[in-house]
């Protein structure tokens, strides 16, 4: 196996200096048309491929961007990654994707790897809520936060969905369809997202002069099984009548539906379930899940675009909160028959 050709080889082949080849390869300012042609055909002939490692080394820019998400096989984060990737491609940079697996130890390790590869910047969904964010600055690369945890670090730019607005959309919908206070299925207590969610719900009702302290809540893991278990506990204490559930994520909502079904209850006839996320699986369950869709792809896209601005020296701190939208499917019953008639008429 022979060594890969460099600009020096191209220069030799074309009978010019390596400076000239370099000029041709990077745009071709101040080179005669004859030489451009000469160099390009020489390069093609010996199969020259630009070495970005050397370019990065010299220029200090690697053209690499890092993104650390909790789990790339989680559909929400996969969608974020997809959006990030498209944005990165449009600015000619490549994306290094890492999964922290919700473990701050892994997060630390990945961040270290990113710094060592000299990424131009990185986007991060922070797991370790504890630290103060200054540790990120120490890494020496521009960074941007993803998601709710960003609120802990007021001095850092971030991109995420607007939880308050999203919760509002869901509760507006529930209210309009005749549902009083729903019961909540929340996620693990340790995550900040849980607090954000419940605060948004409380504020919503307080602003409407409803006392939210009566809302029963159940905590669970952010998984289908967590939702099942939480739902089972809620059903045990349920007095009867139509039960309305608002779950803090779609997987738990799906779990709630599955649990209800396995206890012989029909959704939406006996139980209404509102989700929160907008994962694709919600479309195929029975009934299809009515939920609040987060703009996952757009979050990914915007995070990279903002990061690029940061890299290019725009130091302004921006906290971008993208709007969620209601995805109306079939898991919430309309308890207002007259409105239903008005709507269908």
Q: Which is nearer to its own copies, 50 or 208 (CB)?
A: 50
- DSSP type of residue 342: H
Binds 25, which of its own copies, DNA, none (CB < 5 to 8 A, cut-off by type)? Answer: DNA
Reading the block at residue 108, the tokens are: 């630390």
Q: Which is nearest to 35 in space by CA: 55, 18, 54, 52?
A: 18
Which residues touch 275 (CB under 8 Å, ≥6 apart)?
247, 249, 250, 252, 253, 254, 282, 289, 290, 291, 292, 331
| Residue 162 near residue 150, CB atoms below 8 Å | no
* Interface mask toward DNA for 19-48; x: CB under 7 A: xx-xx-xx---xxx-xx------------x
Q: Count Cβ atoms below 10 Å from residue 172 Cβ, excluding itself.
A: 12
Handedness of CA 189, 318, 164, 235 (dihedral sign): negative
Pairing of β 291-293 and β 325-327: antiparallel
Instruction: Report 264-323 residues binding its own copies (CB under 8 A).
Output: 280-286, 297
* Shortest spacing between CB 218 and its own copies, in angstroms: 20
Q: To the nearest whole angstrom, how small is the minimum distance from the Cβ of residue 32 to DNA?
A: 4
Longest dimension (CA), the chain: 89
Q: According to CB under 8 A, which one of 140, 241, 264, 337 is a site residue for its own copies?
A: 140
User: Binding residue for its own copies (CB under 8 A) from 19, 32, 117, 266?
Assistant: 117
Footprint on this chain of DNA (rule: CB under 7 A): 3-4, 6-8, 16-20, 22-23, 25-26, 30-32, 34-35, 48, 50-51, 54-55, 57-60
Footprint on this chain of its own copies (rule: CB under 8 A): 4, 47, 49-54, 56-57, 62-64, 71-75, 78-79, 81-82, 85, 89, 94-99, 113, 115-118, 138-140, 224, 254, 257-258, 280-286, 297
């Amino acid at each position: 196996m022979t060594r890969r050709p460099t600009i020096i080889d191209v220069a030799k082949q074309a009978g010019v200096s390596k400076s000239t080849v370099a000029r041709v390869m990077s745009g071709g300012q101040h080179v005669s048309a004859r030489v451009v042609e000469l160099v390009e055909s020489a390069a093609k002939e010996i199969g020259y491929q630009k070495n970005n490692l050397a370019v990065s080394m010299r220029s200090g820019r690697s053209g690499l961007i890092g993104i650390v998400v909790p789990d790339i096989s989680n559909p929400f984060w996969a969608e974020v990654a997809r959006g990030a990737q498209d944005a990165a491609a449009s600015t000619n940079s490549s994306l290094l994707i890492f999964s922290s697996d919700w473990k701050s130890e892994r997060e630390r390790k990945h961040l270290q790897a990113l710094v060592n590869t000299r990424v131009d910047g990185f986007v991060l969904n922070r797991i370790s809520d504890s630290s103060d964010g200054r540790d990120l600055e120490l890494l020496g690369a521009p960074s941007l936060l993803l998601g709710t945890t960003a609120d802990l670090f007021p001095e850092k730019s971030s991109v995420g969905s607007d939880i308050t607005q999203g919760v509002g959309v869901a509760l507006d919908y529930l209210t309009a369809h005749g549902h009083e206070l729903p019961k909540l299925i929340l996620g693990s207590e340790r995550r900040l997202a849980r607090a954000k969610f419940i605060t948004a719900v409380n504020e919503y009702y307080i602003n409407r002069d409803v006392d939210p302290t009566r809302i029963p809540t159940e905590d669970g893991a952010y998984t289908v099984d967590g939702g099942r278990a939480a739902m089972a506990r809620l059903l045990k204490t349920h007095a009867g009548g139509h039960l309305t559930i608002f779950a803090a994520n779609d997987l738990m909502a799906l779990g709630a539906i599955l649990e209800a079904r396995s206890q012989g209850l029909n959704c939406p006839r006996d139980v209404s379930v509102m989700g929160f996320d907008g994962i694709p699986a919600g479309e195929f369950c029975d009934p299809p899940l009515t939920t609040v869709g987060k703009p996952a792809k757009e979050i990914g896209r915007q995070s990279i675009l903002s990061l690029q601005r940061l890299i290019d020296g725009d130091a302004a701190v921006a906290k971008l909160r993208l709007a969620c939208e209601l995805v109306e499917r079939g898991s919430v019953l309309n308890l207002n028959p007259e409105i239903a008639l008005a709507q269908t008429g």
